Amino acid sequence: MCLLALIGGMATGTTALYGTGLDFSSVFPRLSRVQATLLVGALSIGFVFAGRFGLDLVRSISAFATVIITCTTPWMVVMMLGYWTRRGWYDPEALQVFNRRQRGGRYWFAHGWNWRGVTAWWVSALTGVLFTNLPGQFVGPLGGLANGVDIGLPVSLVAAAVLFLTLLRLFPEPRAVYGPEGARLARTADVPVPPVTGPGDEGALSDPSATLPA
C-alpha cells in the first residue's frame, strides 16, 4: 500500500510539476521549459522543507491554499470576461508569439503585457487578501469588517469583474484583438497591429496592416 501511494503521489506530482513549469515558461519567455520546470521544482522542495521543519505544515498549507485561491480566482474572472467580450474569437497563430520568442502581433499590447487585465487582477487579488479572515492563521487588515466572516474571495471576484470591464471601457483595446463581429460590451480603438519580429517572423502576422482575416 505504501508503494502504491508513493507511485500515485509521484505520478500526480510529476503532472503538476510539468504543468506548472510549462505555464511558468509562458509567463517568463526567456526561460525554456526545462529551466522553468527545474526552477519551480527547486522552489517547491524549498517550500516543503520550510513547511516541514520551520512552520506548522498543515496550518500553513491551509492558509496558503486559501490565499492562493483568493489571488488566482480573479485572474479566471478576467480570462472569462476577455473570452466573453471577444465573443469567443482568438487568433491561434498570434497567440504563439510568446512561445516562439517573438515580439509584436495583435496581442502584444504594451511590451507584451495587457495592462488592463493585469491591473484588474492584482488590484482585485490584493483587495481580496485584505478582506481574508482565517482565525488563528491569517487575518487581513480588513478581515474583521464582516464580523469574522471570510469574504475575501467574493470581494476579489466582484472587484475583478467591475475593474476589468471599467478599464475596457475607459481604455479601449485595439480593434484587431476582436473577431469579425466586433466587441461585446467594450469599446475598441483603431490602431495598427505591430509587426511580428523575431525567429521565423516571415508570414502574414509580420504585416502591420493585417488586422482581421477576411
Cβ 170 vs Cβ 80: under 8 Å: no
Each residue of 80-138: pLDDT tens digit? 999 999 999 999 999 888 878 889 999 999 988 999 999 999 999 999 999 999 888 88
Furthest C-alpha separation in the chain: 63
More confidently predicted of 57 and 179 = 179
Q: Where are the alpha helices (DSSP H) in 54-178?
A: 57-85, 115-130, 152-170
Q: Are 191 and 108 in the same domain?
A: yes
Q: Does the pLDDT at position 162 exceed 50?
A: yes
Q: What is the number of structural domains in the chain?
A: 2
d(CA 118, CA 134): 26
Q: Are 49 and 74 in the same domain?
A: no
- Res 214: pLDDT: 35
Q: Show the domain range for 4.
A: 1-55
d(CA 25, CA 32): 6
* pTM, rounded to two decimals: 0.75
Q: Does the pLDDT at position 210 exceed 50?
A: no
Q: Are 38 and 136 in the same domain?
A: no
- Res 123: pLDDT: 97
Q: What percent of the chain has pLDDT over 90?
A: 50
Average pLDDT in the 139-155 region? 92
Q: Are 61 and 43 in the same domain?
A: no
- Res 26: pLDDT: 72
Q: Are 138 and 197 in the same domain?
A: yes
Q: Are 68 and 41 in the same domain?
A: no
Instruction: Report which of 77, 82, 117, 112 is spatially closest to residue 94, judged by C-alpha positions.
Output: 112
Q: Are 26 and 50 in the same domain?
A: yes
Q: Are 193 and 89 in the same domain?
A: yes
Mean pLDDT of all residues in the chain? 84
23-32, 132-141, 144-153: which range is least confident on average? 23-32
Q: Does the pLDDT at position 182 exceed 90?
A: yes
Q: Are 108 and 81 in the same domain?
A: yes
